[in-house]
Amino acid sequence: MLETLPAALPSAATVRSRSWPVVAAALFVCGWGGNQFTPLLLMYRRLGGYSALSVDAFLGAYVVGLVPGLLLAGPMSDRRGRRPVLVAGTAASALASLVLCFGVDGPWPIYAGRLLTGVAVGIAMAVGSSWVKELSNGDDPGAAG
């Protein structure tokens, strides 16, 4: 009589090692959202009629958001877990893009959207790069710190 053996389930390490592309995709999306704006700076100057100072301030708003995102997200993800912090950063990136859609109404949505984009990119890069490395090594502090 032939015995049927149960199919071997993938180990937790195998599942984790296959999870890094999802995290890398979140990094890519947030990074793209943060950098797609840069070529538009020339268009804001030429076609939008914004001054050179205003256009520089649009970029400055991004940097003002980026720095706290980078500095605070890592320690926060150590305490709360990588997943919830990266999900929040990815959601902030989507919200920032939505806010930027209202930039046609004036400069304030551009400032707000760029500030939020900076925060989102800071979170994604600080948390996502660490998480991809950990997933590639077989560690996974994603769910809990």
> Of 43, 61, 56, which Cα lies nearest the Cα of 109?
61
Q: How far is CA 45 from CA 19, 101, 144, in A?
A: 42, 17, 45
Half-sphere CA count of 56, side-chain side, radius 13 A: 3
CB count within 10 Å of CB 70 equals 18
pLDDT at 136: 83
| Full pLDDT tens readout for the chain, 145 residues | 556 555 554 555 555 556 889 999 999 999 999 988 888 888 899 998 999 999 999 999 999 999 999 999 999 999 999 999 999 999 999 999 999 999 989 999 999 999 999 999 999 999 999 999 888 877 655 555 4
How far, in Å, CA of 29 to CA of 34, rounded?
A: 9
* d(C-alpha 22, C-alpha 114), whole Å: 25
Q: Please provide residue 140's backbone torsions phi and psi, each rounded to the nearest 5 degrees.
A: -155, 85
